[in-house]
Amino acid sequence: MRALTQDRYGWEHLRVGEVPDPEPGQGQVLVKVRAAGVNPYDWHYATGQPLVARAMMGTFTGPRPLVRGADLSGVVVAAGPGVTQYAPGDEVFGFGTGGTFAELALAEVGSIARRPVDLTHVEAAAMPMAAVTALQYLRAAELRAGQHIAITGAGGGIGHFAVQIAAAWGAEVTGVCGPRNAAMVRELGASEVIDYTKDDVTAGERRFDVVFTNAGRYSLRALGRVVVPGGLVLANDGSREGLLGPMPELMTAPLVSRMRPYRILNVSATTSGEDLGVLEGLVADGVLLPIVSATYPLERAVDAIRQVAGHGHARGKLVVTIS
């Protein structure tokens, strides 16, 4: 099968080529991939940044698995031993195991769900990592109807899902984004939009119960200034490179929380099939819609990953189409 592979860190080591077809093991299905979402996760693996995370990515010199990609939407072509939930022909979306920028990919049955009938494969592939992350952060915040939440990076992958989910839960949403995304963010449910090129959300008089930061544009200390006493800063910023990336700020967050009148929370998102089902319900209810700003064929998957590197892309999601 064709796949985007990489044996060493660095853009020059990413290439599309032939690799053996994977075979499903216990509790796995083999999926014919129709589309695969692109995430900042992919450029971290492509570049090996931040350096401190290489031990979790594979080895110090190269990532594992060899095939890039995590999100998928496609059709089950084979089921491994012990699998009763899915059969060949079932259309699914979710998280792959062993790489998804490929014609075929493996997936654990607990990390996928049936494709929402109202979404195309391209739209469904845009959801797993970004939408599940948004859902799990907002759930950890115990966001309630009537609360005021500011979401930075509101036009991006996680951000545009967070705006919709928060609004669906009855929160008053302030979206912070650039001017080209302002109309989109408002249409997705934000009651207020702040253009960061004109106004600094951390310098105003407005106060929020929750601030959910995604773009890495603001320090946690600055965001803490606009949180009400006892409020919460949801810290999700993986955009920094270097030796430690965002780790110093995130590691000191618990200490800062004890010294400040607000809390700072970082959530380790999980590949939950149950949460994919929750998202499918929101799609069915008409309150959640993936925004896909561009698609790329497999041969141009590297270009798509480059677009999400750092601050390079900030409008909905990019998706790689396979077949």
Domain 2-127+290-321, CATH homologous superfamily name and number: Medium-chain alcohol dehydrogenases, catalytic domain (3.90.180.10)
Q: What is the pLDDT of residue 205?
A: 86
Check if the beta carbon of residue 305 is closer than 8 Å to that of residue 85. no
CA–CA separation, 111 vs 71, rounded Å? 10
Check if the beta carbon of residue 172 is closer than 8 Å to that of residue 228. no
Q: What is the pLDDT of residue 240?
A: 47
CA–CA separation, 68 vs 288, rounded Å? 27
Check if the beta carbon of residue 119 is closer than 8 Å to that of residue 113. no
Residue where the block lists tokens 């985007």: 4
Q: What is the pLDDT of residue 67?
A: 95
Identify the bridge partners of residue 113 per DSSP, sorted by sequence position. 93
Provide CATH 3.90.180.10 ranges for the chain. 2-127+290-321
| Stretches in the chain below the pLDDT threshold 70 | 216, 237-260, 310-313
From residue 292, alpha-carbon distances to 258, 283, 303 in Å are 40, 15, 16
Burial of 128 (0-12, 13-18, 19+ CB in 10 A): buried
End-to-end CA distance of the chain: 12
Express each pLDDT in 268-289 by its tens digit: 888 999 999 999 999 999 999 9
Check if the beta carbon of residue 143 is closer than 8 Å to that of residue 163. no
CA–CA separation, 310 vs 244, rounded Å? 15
CA–CA separation, 257 vs 294, rounded Å? 39
From residue 300, alpha-carbon distances to 42, 152, 200 in Å are 14, 29, 36
For residue 7 the two structure tokens come to: 């044996």
Express each pLDDT in 104-138 by its tens digit: 999 999 999 999 999 999 999 999 999 999 999 99
Which residues does 232 contact at the CB level (< 8 Å), separation at least 6? 141, 209, 210, 211, 262, 263, 264, 265
Helix, coil or strand: residue 47: helix
Distinct helix (H) and strand (E) counts, the chain: 11, 15
From residue 27, alpha-carbon distances to 15, 50, 110, 190, 219 in Å are 30, 32, 8, 40, 42
Q: What is the pLDDT of residue 51?
A: 72
Among residues 123, 175, 125, the alpha carbon closest in space to that of 149 is found at 175
How many other β-carbons are positioned within 10 Å of the β-carbon of residue 21? 12
Provide CATH 3.40.50.720 ranges for the chain. 130-265
Q: What is the pLDDT of residue 241?
A: 47
Q: What is the pLDDT of residue 48?
A: 80
Q: What is the pLDDT of residue 68?
A: 95
From residue 310, alpha-carbon distances to 259, 262, 283 in Å are 30, 28, 29
Q: What is the pLDDT of residue 93?
A: 98
130-265 is classed CATH 3.40.50.720: yes
Listing DSSP states for 156-199 in one string gives: SHHHHHHHHHHHHTT-EEEEEE-GGGHHHHHHTT-SEEEETTT-
Among residues 184, 178, 176, the alpha carbon closest in space to that of 223 is found at 176
